Amino acid sequence: MTSITTSKRLHYGLAAGLLLLLASSLGTAAYGLHPHLPAEARIGDWSIAGLTPAELEEQLAAKEAALLSLPVRLAVKEGEARLTKSVTLGELGLELRREELQAQLQPLRQGSPWERALARWRLRGVSWQLAVQLPEEKLRAALSATFAEVYARKPADALRIIEADDTIRYVPEQAVSLIDEAKLHEALLAKLPSWGSLAGAPLSKDAPESGAAPPPLDVELPMRTAAPGVTVQALQAQGISRKLIEYTTSYPPGSASPEGRVHNVRSTAAVIHDVLLKPGEVFDYAPYIAETEKRFGFREAPVIVNGKLVPGVGGGICQVSSTLYNAVLRAGLTIVERRNHSLPVSYVPLGQDATFASGHIGFKFRNSTGHYLLIRTSATDRSMTVKLFGQTPPEWSYDIVSKTVETLPAPVKYVHNPTLRKGRQETLIKGKPGYIVETYRRKLKNGVVMAEEKISRDTYSAQPTVIASSNGSAASRDHTSPSPGASPREPMIEDGVKGPNYRSAR
């Protein structure tokens, strides 16, 4: 009897335990499937306890709309007046970031009842922060459209003006006041109303909206001073205090294709106009020739090819380099690379020219003044001028002397002309002598020669006298018919960029 009673008690106890476990499981499942957020759940000062996720999203959408439509009165001083304009936070680019909140709500919507119950239990008393952002590019775009007159302000660099009499004056820089977008960004975010103060959607037709519309935000635009990149102080620190030297050359009289030569000279001079060299910087003529061809193009004008003056393109570019060379010599600067023409030129003295051939002959000099150097050019239809501005001791000056140390006689070249009577000769081209010239630079202090240096020793080829004869007995040693097996010589183009048939010097 006793054993039966004990057995029944065990069965009853087991059944009761199973019932309690079932009740607990059902309770847990019911808790997990409960559609509302747990007590004391908040977003900032906004209580979201008892809301379903769907109701939360509905109210959040209403609060977001209220936030983005909130007016912002922005004020800025414009001269003596005060400029105030009103925009909304949405127009300024404010955005709501829901990703974190949606991630927090997701465990309440998926998984088993027990997983949902655990997630809901963990959310008791939770306090979320709903992030907003104000992208800088959107804020800038909105401000520039709203305050176009403010964004139209541009700082003005200081200017160095060279007057007609070659004196130097400066136009001061001008700073402007612009909106400090970074500080405004911080101020706007700091002034945003709390979520609890924003109106949300009612839970039913009879329920009132939560919160009330907050007042517009009044923000004084923070301003910053935008300084120009170039100041008078910076310009003066370059040391360009006066004109150092001026040199002018005239175009060759009666030169062929004058319009083309004038164009080439003027275009090249315009490209090197206002070039500024740092102390120690080397001026290389080659990039400026390339830039001139790119910007203006070169026109037809005679060039020198293998010691002969022939039709070509770009004639005149060496008048620019030679004019600059003469100014550089007389300013006492260091010559890095320079070569004379193969033939004498009429616009500068022998020994004082500087030719150029792309890839073959360069013209370079160094700014050895210890200060910045400014190159100024001007060109008319008759001449061109180079002026150098910088700073050197005013008591020092330079004088250039060129001496012809040897005159090279013109050779005689005979060509056969069968139409002439036997024994008769006819001069076709009158030759010209060549020269060997040495050039010296004298350094003077207050007009007294203190030192002298040899700058160059140049050879200018003699041009042959060409004589036609009937018998050809003294035939020319002409190079127009090369020896068998000999390769033709690559043409050397000077004072231009293209030779006959417009073959490029490059």
Q: DSSP of 346-413, one letter per residue?
A: SSS-TT-----BTTTB--EEE--SSS-EEEEEEE-SSEEEEEEEE---TTEEEEEEEEEEEEEPPPEE
Label residue 381 exposed, middle or buried (CB < 10 Å: 0-12, 13-18, 19+). Answer: exposed
Q: From edge to edge, which strands make up the β-sheet containing 275-277? A: 242-250, 383-390, 373-379, 275-277
Q: Using an 8 Å Cβ cutoff, are 374 and 390 in contact?
A: yes
Q: Using an 8 Å Cβ cutoff, are 196 and 211 in contact?
A: yes
- The CATH superfamily holding the domain 395-475 is Resuscitation-promoting factor rpfb. (2.20.230.10)
pLDDT digits (tens, 9 = 90+) for 213-249: 678 899 999 999 999 999 999 999 999 999 999 999 9
Query: CB count, 10 Å around CB of 116?
Result: 20
Phi, psi angle pair for 277, to nearest 5°: -105, 135
Which region among 234-248, 258-272, 281-295, 483-497 has the lowest average model confidence (pLDDT)?
Answer: 483-497
Q: Mean of the pLDDT values across residues 179-203?
A: 85
197 vs 12 pLDDT, higher one:
197
94 vs 314 pLDDT, higher one:
94
Q: Which amino acid is at 209?
A: E
pLDDT digits (tens, 9 = 90+) for 351-383: 999 999 888 899 999 999 999 999 999 999 899
In whole numbers, what is the pLDDT of the chain averaged over residues?
83
Which residues share a beta bridge with 297? Answer: none
Report in angstroms the alpha-carbon separations of 213 from 43, 134, 308. Answer: 18, 21, 91
Q: Where are the domains of the chain?
A: 25-151+185-214, 238-392, 395-475
pLDDT digits (tens, 9 = 90+) for 431-478: 899 999 999 999 999 999 999 999 999 999 998 888 888 764 444 444
- Amino acid 206: pLDDT: 47
Q: Using an 8 Å Cβ cutoff, are 84 and 73 in contact?
A: yes
Q: Look at the block and give the residue holding tokens 């490209």.
A: 271
pLDDT digits (tens, 9 = 90+) for 431-444: 899 999 999 999 99
In which band, very low, low, confident or very high, does the pLDDT at 430 lie, cut at 50, 70 and 90? Answer: confident
**What single DSSP character describes residue 459?**
E
What is the spatial distance between Cα 482 and Cα 466, in angstroms, rounded to a whole number? Answer: 19
- Amino acid 474: pLDDT: 43
Helix 285-295 and helix 258-272: axis angle, to 10°?
Answer: 120
In which band, very low, low, confident or very high, does the pLDDT at 487 lie, cut at 50, 70 and 90? Answer: very low
pLDDT digits (tens, 9 = 90+) for 26-54: 444 444 455 677 777 888 888 888 788 78
**What single DSSP character describes residue 263?**
H
Residues near 202 by beta carbon (within 8 Å), at least 6 away in sequence = 208, 209, 210
pLDDT digits (tens, 9 = 90+) for 130-146: 888 999 999 999 999 99
In which band, very low, low, confident or very high, does the pLDDT at 429 lie, cut at 50, 70 and 90? Answer: confident
* Residue 204 pLDDT greater than 70, yes or no: no
Angle (nearest 5°) at CA 345 between 341 and 347 = 130
Q: Mean of the pLDDT values across residues 183-207?
A: 77
Which region among 276-290, 325-339, 462-476 has the lowest average model confidence (pLDDT)?
Answer: 462-476
Which region among 168-177, 264-273, 481-490 has the lowest average model confidence (pLDDT)?
Answer: 481-490
Helix (H, G, I), strand (E, B) or coil at 468: strand
Q: Which amino acid is at 411?
A: P
Helix (H, G, I), strand (E, B) or coil at 86: strand
What is the spatial distance between Cα 390 and Cα 289, in angstroms, rounded to a whole number? Answer: 24
What is the spatial distance between Cα 342 and Cα 459, in angstroms, rounded to a whole number? Answer: 7
pLDDT digits (tens, 9 = 90+) for 59-118: 888 988 999 999 999 998 777 778 899 999 999 999 988 777 777 676 766 667 656 667
- In the chain, pLDDT over 70 holds for what percent of residues? 80
What is the spatial distance between Cα 486 and Cα 488, in angstroms, rounded to a whole number? Answer: 7
Report in angstroms the alpha-carbon separations of 410 from 346, 426, 443, 476, 494. Answer: 18, 17, 36, 14, 21
* Residue 417 pLDDT greater than 70, yes or no: yes
402 vs 3 pLDDT, higher one:
402
288 vs 38 pLDDT, higher one:
288
Report in angstroms the alpha-carbon separations of 7 from 15, 21, 77, 159, 353. Answer: 12, 21, 95, 110, 129
- Amino acid 488: pLDDT: 46
